[in-house]
Amino acid sequence: MGGWRDMSAEALEEQYSPSRWSPRLGSDAIVQAHLEATAAGTQQARAEARTSLHVPYGDGDREKLDIYFPADPAGTFPLLVYIHGGYWQCLSKDESGFAALPLVSRGVAVAAVGYDTAPTGHMDAMVLQVRRSVAFLVQRHAGIRGIYLCGHSAGAHLAAMVLSTDWTEYGVAPDIKGAVLVSGVYDLEPILHTYVNDELNMSQEVAQRNSPMLHITPAAMACQVLVAVAQHDSPEFRRQSQEYGQALRAAGWSVSLLDLAGVDHFDIIEKLSEESYVLTQVILNMISRA
């Protein structure tokens, strides 16, 4: 096979340690800066937007979501569902509203989804939770005019798993018109051989069952998929994004690959708090064209 299978354990750890690849800051500092930037952006959005916070979509402590509404939700509105990263182990919906203000100002509602992170959360359960959160939003808000998924890193993986959902089991048919997958992991097998799996405790079977790359469904024709990757993501993250995008395209999906210059694994998503940022504009254009 070649590729990651030929790497030493140390090389593989390095490839799947996004904080080691940023030219801006050292490994610990970049993670801390990311926590601070996303938390501060979320606080600002909660202060300035109309919100419904801590809405339970299930019975679990973390099965809650925050909704940021446009100033004038005139009956119907497009909804962006944001799924946070943190390597399935950290972050929460409380750092996931930072992208809301540029979107709500243009009439788009944003839902930030919480889910159980490891070690208490298991991969099967996380995938089930994000799927249930989408079903819940569809049932709760009759005025949704198209759903757009957006996930970062581990959240891009979870958003991609939402794309492969058999919705007949959920009793709803969400009108998913777009997905923006940012710096994601789409094949979990390499993760099994890194420190990341110390907390996740995935078996090979669990990794295969929850790898979007292995569960590409026939194309939903109305759905646009944007696979975005940062210049300063590791080669493995970049490879995963490229190969997943190609596999979706081969299955008939409408896919764009966006390679963003001058950003790393962290600020590629943090900058969604800025209306002028290229990825913010791409998302707004995707929604306005639908």
Domain hosting 171: range is 3-289
- Distance, in Å, from the CA atom of 106 to the CA atom of 12, rounded to the nearest integer, reads 42
Q: What is the mean pLDDT of residues 157-183?
A: 96
Token code pair at residue 11: 């090389």
Whether omega for the bond prior to residue 23 falls within 30 degrees of 0, making it cis, is no
β-strands 224-232, 144-152: how paired?
A: unpaired
Do 221 and 177 contact (CB within 8 A), yes or no? no
Number of domains in the chain: 1
Q: Which residues of 180-216 are buried (b: 16+ CB within 10 A; e: fewer)?
A: bbbbbbbbbebbeebebbebbebeeebbbbbbbbeeb
Please report how many Cα atoms fall inside a 13 Å half-sphere around the Cα of residue 203, on the Cβ side: 4
Task: List the catalytic residues.
Answer: 153, 233, 265
Q: The domain that contains 121 carries what CATH number?
A: 3.40.50.1820
- Residues 68-113 have pLDDT tens digits of 999 876 678 999 999 999 999 999 999 999 999 999 999 999 999 9
- Distance, in Å, from the CA atom of 45 to the CA atom of 70, rounded to the nearest integer, reads 11
- Residues 265-289 have pLDDT tens digits of 999 999 999 999 999 999 999 999 8
3-class SS of residue 82: strand
| pLDDT over 50 at 199, yes or no | yes
